[in-house]
Structure 1
Amino acid sequence: MTDLASVLQNRDELIATISAGAAERERHGTDPHDQVDMVRKSGLTTLTLDESLGGPGGGVVDLMAFVMDLAEADPIVAHILRSHYLQPQMLRRLPPGPVRDRWAKEILTGKVFGNATSERDGALGTAQYATTLTPSGNGWKLSGAKYYSTGTAFSDWVMVVAHLDDRRVARINLPLDRTGIEVQDDWDGIGQHRTGTGTTRFTDVTVTEDDFVQVSDRDQPRIASDVPLMQLYLQALIAGILRSVVTDARDLLTSRTRTFDHAPAPVPAQDPVLLATIGQLSATAYTVETAVRAAAADIDAAYDSERRGDPDPELFARASLSAAQVKVHADQVGLTAAAAIFDVGGASSASRSKNLDRHWRNIRTLTLHNPTSYKAIAIGDLLVNKTPLPGNGYF
């Protein structure tokens, strides 16, 4: 068993090492394989694995604190691991036995899990998939294509969501080297562009019973859900990026030695307009980080009710609302802050070598995961008309 304090003890050193060269890696499009491997070897990929399964037993608050630190160092690396941290939560719901023990062991030995969920057909967020499992001999054959497979190119295993029949949806873990699996490097986003967010194709892939993690009825009412966690994870990435915005804006301002003749101060670092901009950026970063931590506590409260054997629908609804509220706020203020960094630097801040635009590009890409406006509408409809939040893959 690994205790939480031991896993966290070298976090600062790890973060500093990953931070070194992150901006240059982003500018040159360098894959952070070494950096992902550092996280793996540090044991932090086990962070939220239950103590009963040999893990440190960290909660969502612990996870979001680490994700924000990691995203401040390198948001690409932090984003790659998003789907991996879904695995420990899913294992908690499995009954004691060989299936749960097998996947817990994989996590404990440092294996990283990617995802193959999203498709390009049908309404987004529903449990409708064209990827199917077809009976074949003593097992099944998997065929289909998945898109936005963030992290899979850096992983050992990929979790695939596919129809088992007309009613049931299966979640299976497959090794990336199994015959018939093709991971394509075709993600060309303006931001978060080396996260392995490409296409994963499955062509008559052999699947056995041992590969199954979970089978669910798509029409069964949902109580406990990991969606708030997965949604809040994206806002934790933005919170980490905003810390870097503050740091880069400060460094940019203190590096300036000249200003305009008509500026309110002879030295940029004493210019009240520029100092106010830095102050506003700092306040934005602090507010988003605080909101992420508060929502993480709400998600932990919901998970705690599930661990007690009585998942509380109200607590899970609260967690969903909290994550949605953080998104609506973080998306808006994050983009404004990432653009405002150029206000403290003048024309030279637009130099490609400084790569300051990466913050805006990365935040903008993260905000596009699902529409901010639709989330705001759902929140308003809940508050005004008491309409429950949608029970789909975005709430």
Structure 2
Amino acid sequence: MPRAPCAASSSDRTGSMNATLPPATVAPSATPTRTTPPSKRNLSMTNTLQAAPAPLTDRELLDIFQPVFDRIREGAIDRETDRRLPHKEIGWLREAGFGRLRVPREAGGFGVGIGQLVQLLIGLGTADSNIPQALRGHIGFVEYVLAHPDAAYREFWFAELAAGALVGNAESERTGTFGEPATKVTPVDGRLVLNGAKYYTTGSIFADWIHVGVGVDQAGDGGPGLATVQVRADAAGVRIHDDWDGFGQRLTGSGTTEFTGVEVDPRLLNLRGAGEFTATVQNAVYQLVHLAALAGIGAAALEEITAFIRSRTRNLFNPAVAPERDPVSLQVIGWGYGTVETVKATVLAAALTVQRASDAQQAGTAVDRDFAEADAHVYGVQSTVIDLVLGLVSRVFEVGGASATSRSRQLDRLWRNARTISSHNPAIYRQQAVGDFVVNGVAPSAGILGLLAGAPREP
């Protein structure tokens, strides 16, 4: 399926690749090595960072984004019915600056904290849970940039992100393993070339760039290794397919992306050793996006079934009482309200733990324990949030009767979407990782990395 046009081309966007990066100089062998750190790759910036203005309040952020969420929600049922990808809606978010929420204010972003980000993601998930997941790769990539050790690399990406660029994700494969991906960057005639195929490339069909996990040959450094690289989504040799066939989250663009002879800029190639783990908040933030989407689904279910009850004119099993006065319906709605508030509070509490680790990271005072505790908090509440939301989206049908199952209402999408999100990063493995942390002190993300090292990777 063709991608929607970008808001601006790479040639006319401030901070674009051509505007900020001088021509690449690649050694004749074009073999990636660890001897050339990112800081030596001569990335440059045309933008000068300014002093940061005061951060926006929660109310100010809602004033900007809630009208966009409301517009998105208006078409959610029609998009689901017609299976129409939300290119236009993601464009609205791009225009409002949603993609630069975590970019520092002095670099042209909003500079919001992770707690504020998650609050907005819950609101967006209430409007349409597909869209937080479609932007999940972008959100995770921003955390990757924030934690990157090279200032020139960060500044290049801050300029791209501030100008509206969106970044998709392409790490999972059907064939390769986490430790040995089949998708590789190799030297060809003095250039670095990317070849392979990725699945679950969520959001890439909406993006300007794609963040790709690859295998490389690290000359002089122990043989094969792992790396990440960013390539333009519209580069020659990139083909993005809308072939995701899950029964839920059908509009996330989570299908296949093929890379055939895609030229790689060596300055955007980041190497790491096989099995190497660097502690950051990125993995916790990835999971927070899912939890925020689940919280949004719960809120949407409560709102939609409440509106349905108010619209009814009769109560078959209790005809003497108007539907909106029926004590059974009111009890279920009251239980649902408490469930939604519990889920929101749980997710936001986890977000604040991640925020503390992120603050320490930015201040240069973080230790591995900070990141491990952030991961443990997020992973530890994952199963609780899943159970509460799945229970809610099932139980709301008890007050609607058979008419609530009408396909025109698409209430079933709420259960399908919640069930699909809950199947990513299975909670049973997360519980195991958290238990290993509590009992043995093994950092959860490092433990999960060990589990994935010999298995096909699924986000």
Q: TM-score range by the shorter chain?
A: over 0.9
- Identify if the C-alpha distance between structure 1 residues 203 and 139 changes in structure 2 by more than 3 Å, giving closer, same or farther: same
| Equivalent residues of 2:132, 2:289 under 8 A apart | no
> Does residue 1:334 correspond to 2:389, yes or no?
yes
* CA deviation after TM superposition for structure 1 residue 386, in Å: 5.3
2:137 match: secondary structure: coil
| Seq. identity, % | 33
1:58 alignment partner in structure 2: 112
Q: Letter of the aligned partner of 2:301 in structure 1? A: V
2-side partners of 1:169 and 1:160: how far apart?
11
1:284 alignment partner in structure 2: 339
* CA deviation after TM superposition for structure 1 residue 37, in Å: 0.3
Q: Letter of the aligned partner of 2:166 in structure 1? A: V
- Identify if the C-alpha distance between structure 1 residues 370 and 94 changes in structure 2 by more than 3 Å, giving closer, same or farther: closer
Structure 1 segments of 4 or more deviating over 4 A?
1-4, 384-388
* CA deviation after TM superposition for structure 1 residue 311, in Å: 2.2
Q: What residue ranges of structure 1 are gaps of 5+ in the alignment?
A: none
2:236 match: secondary structure: coil
> Does residue 1:246 correspond to 2:292, yes or no?
no
| Equivalent residues of 2:376, 2:437 under 8 A apart | no
- Give the stretch that moved more between structures: 18-27 or 351-360: 18-27
2-side partners of 1:122 and 1:172: how far apart?
17
2-side partners of 1:243 and 1:7: how far apart?
19
| Equivalent residues of 2:137, 2:169 under 8 A apart | yes
2:313 alignment partner in structure 1: 257
> Does residue 1:218 correspond to 2:263, yes or no?
no
* CA deviation map 1:229-267 (0-9, x unaligned): 101110000001111011011111112221234x39622
* CA deviation map 1:308-334 (0-9, x unaligned): 213222211111111112211111111
Count of aligned pairs between the two proteins: 391
2:284 alignment partner in structure 1: 228
- Give the stretch that moved more between structures: 294-303 or 72-81: 72-81
Could you tell me which of 67, 74, 86 is aligned with 1:32?
86
> Does residue 1:71 correspond to 2:125, yes or no?
yes
2-side partners of 1:128 and 1:48: how far apart?
32
1:150 match: secondary structure: coil
2:187 match: secondary structure: strand
| Equivalent residues of 1:155, 1:176 under 8 A apart | yes
2-side partners of 1:234 and 1:218: how far apart?
27
| Equivalent residues of 2:143, 2:281 under 8 A apart | no
2:251 alignment partner in structure 1: 194
Could you tell me which of 229, 232, 235 is aligned with 1:172?
229
1:205 alignment partner in structure 2: 262
- Identify if the C-alpha distance between structure 1 residues 302 and 284 changes in structure 2 by more than 3 Å, giving closer, same or farther: same
> Does residue 1:43 correspond to 2:43, yes or no?
no
* CA deviation map 1:287-319 (0-9, x unaligned): 111111001111111111111213222211111
* CA deviation after TM superposition for structure 1 residue 221, in Å: 4.2
> Does residue 1:347 correspond to 2:347, yes or no?
no
2-side partners of 1:34 and 1:345: how far apart?
32
| Equivalent residues of 2:102, 2:112 under 8 A apart | yes
* CA deviation after TM superposition for structure 1 residue 96, in Å: 5.0
2-side partners of 1:28 and 1:270: how far apart?
35
2:456 alignment partner in structure 1: none
2-side partners of 1:14 and 1:116: how far apart?
27
1:358 alignment partner in structure 2: 413
Q: Letter of the aligned partner of 1:305 in structure 2? A: A
1-side partners of 2:140 and 2:288: how far apart?
12
* CA deviation after TM superposition for structure 1 residue 384, in Å: 5.0
Length-normalised TM-score, structure 1: 0.93
2-side partners of 1:87 and 1:302: how far apart?
17
1-side partners of 2:120 and 2:443: how far apart?
31
Aligned-residue CA RMSD (Å): 2.1
| Equivalent residues of 2:226, 2:272 under 8 A apart | yes
2-side partners of 1:60 and 1:178: how far apart?
32
* CA deviation after TM superposition for structure 1 residue 385, in Å: 5.7
2-side partners of 1:320 and 1:375: how far apart?
10
Q: Letter of the aligned partner of 1:323 in structure 2? A: V
1-side partners of 2:368 and 2:148: how far apart?
19
* CA deviation after TM superposition for structure 1 residue 53, in Å: 2.9
1:161 match: secondary structure: strand
2-side partners of 1:320 and 1:277: how far apart?
33
> Does residue 1:11 correspond to 2:65, yes or no?
yes
* CA deviation after TM superposition for structure 1 residue 390, in Å: 5.0
Aligned pairs for 1:104-119 (under 5 A) are 104-119=158-173
2-side partners of 1:42 and 1:366: how far apart?
26
1:145 match: secondary structure: strand
1:83 match: secondary structure: helix
1-side partners of 2:231 and 2:320: how far apart?
61
Could you tell me which of 328, 335, 338 is aligned with 1:273?
328
Higher relative contact order (CA 8 A, sep 6+): 2
| Equivalent residues of 1:223, 1:311 under 8 A apart | no
